[in-house]
Amino acid sequence: MAKALILYYSRTGNTEDMAKIIADELKAKGQDVSLKAIKDANLDDLEAADGVIIGSPTYYGTMAAQVKTLFDESVKIHGKLDGKVGAAFSSAANIAGGNETTILDIINAMLIHGFIIQGDPKGSHYGPVAIGAPDERANKECKRFADRFAKLLSRINI
């Protein structure tokens, strides 16, 4: 079965809560998934996964430095992530506080690696966002996001 990997950075727990909701939903769908804080992840983890979901708090409208550092290190395996499935999510303090630009920045780096990214015509087009801790709306969006990710992964991993 295809392997999904969720990586996140979280200082105060909000992005981590989103990561756990997404991981639980993937598990509920029967998906093989591992969940790791970014500090515990390495390049082998990225290479071993078929699908990678990355979560970051919104920091000045972009990903946290810890997430960017992993991307910068990933130049060592540039070309080896081509064709994997990618997706991103974020927690921010404010609506329109830069959460979409944060997700797009993560997706941008993923595209340069050759990841396949699926948008969503409904709800959270780029990926789920929470304002602070995930509320009922964010919870629902995280679950929908996980369901769609699992479906895409199973379709691509023939």
* Closer Cβ to ligand FMN, 97 or 114, answer by number: 97
Whether the Cβ atoms of residue 94 and residue 140 lie closer than 8 Å to each other: no
* Closer Cβ to ligand FMN, 2 or 126, answer by number: 126
Q: Which two tokens stand for residue 139?
A: 């919870």
Beta strands of the chain (E only): which ranges?
3-8, 32-37, 51-57, 85-92, 116-117, 129-131
* Closer Cβ to ligand FMN, 81 or 126, answer by number: 126
Tell me the residue number closest to ligand FMN, measured at CB. Answer: 97
Q: Which two tokens stand for residue 1?
A: 């079965």
CB neighbours of residue 87 within 10 Å: 31
What minimum distance in Å lies between the beta carbon of 37 and ligand FMN? 11
What minimum distance in Å lies between the beta carbon of 97 and ligand FMN? 2
CA separation for the pair 112, 93 (Å, rounded): 28
Distant-in-sequence, close-in-space partners of 52: CB < 8 Å, separation ≥ 6 = 4, 5, 6, 7, 46, 81, 84, 85, 86, 87, 110, 115
* Closer Cβ to ligand FMN, 5 or 92, answer by number: 92
What Rg, from alpha-carbon coordinates, does the chain have?
14
- The residues of the shown chain that bind ligand FMN, judged by CB under 6 A, are 10-16, 57-61, 91-94, 97-98, 132
What minimum distance in Å lies between the beta carbon of 95 and ligand FMN? 8
What minimum distance in Å lies between the beta carbon of 156 and ligand FMN? 29
* Closer Cβ to ligand FMN, 2 or 92, answer by number: 92
What minimum distance in Å lies between the beta carbon of 12 and ligand FMN? 3
